[in-house]
Amino acid sequence: MNLKVGMKVSGVVTGIQPYGVFVDIGEHQQGLIHISECHSGYVADIYRLFKVGQPVNALIIDIDEYSGKISLSTRTTSVNYSVLLHARGFKPRKIHYWTNYQLSLGFKSIARSKKQWLSDARIFFE
């Protein structure tokens, strides 16, 4: 299989470490989902999210050109950004990479996520 950055792949969890999850993506190729790419919030216990043998869908976010190591993400596969932008009536006029003034979100997105972040942190420290 000719793998490229941005491709969605399916695989099976072959190993779990405190820093991430190893996934067999077929044809004797393995990728790593770093703990920061497992979930959009704080990950208190990676062993709760994944089990060896569990099937996963992931996105290839990097392929090291020298070693051939593949970095994967499951965080990005759970959100359909095009649906979110369409629902909010997003129509880009100019490209400004430093701001997203069309959506006028301000701190609303942080306020929506804050409750879950605090809950995740409390579970970790209990």
Q: Where are the domains of the chain?
A: 8-78, 84-125
pLDDT in tens, 62-120: 998 888 899 999 987 665 555 555 555 555 555 545 555 555 566 677 777 888 888 88
Q: Which residue bears the tokens 């089990």?
A: 51
Query: By the 8 A CB rule, do 20 and 47 touch?
Result: no
Q: What is the value of pTM for the model shown?
A: 0.61
User: Any idea which residue has 């006029």 for tokens?
Assistant: 93
**Residue 9: pLDDT band with limits 50, 70, 90:** very high
Q: Are 30 and 14 in contact (CB under 8 A)?
A: yes
Q: Which of 15, 113, 20, 29 is nearest to 74 (CA)?
A: 20
Confidence label for 25 from pLDDT (cuts 50, 70 and 90): very high
CATH 2.40.50.140 for the 8-78 domain, yes or no: yes
In this structure, the strands spanning 29-34 and 70-73 are: parallel
Q: List pLDDT tens digits, range 45-65.
A: 999 999 999 999 999 999 988
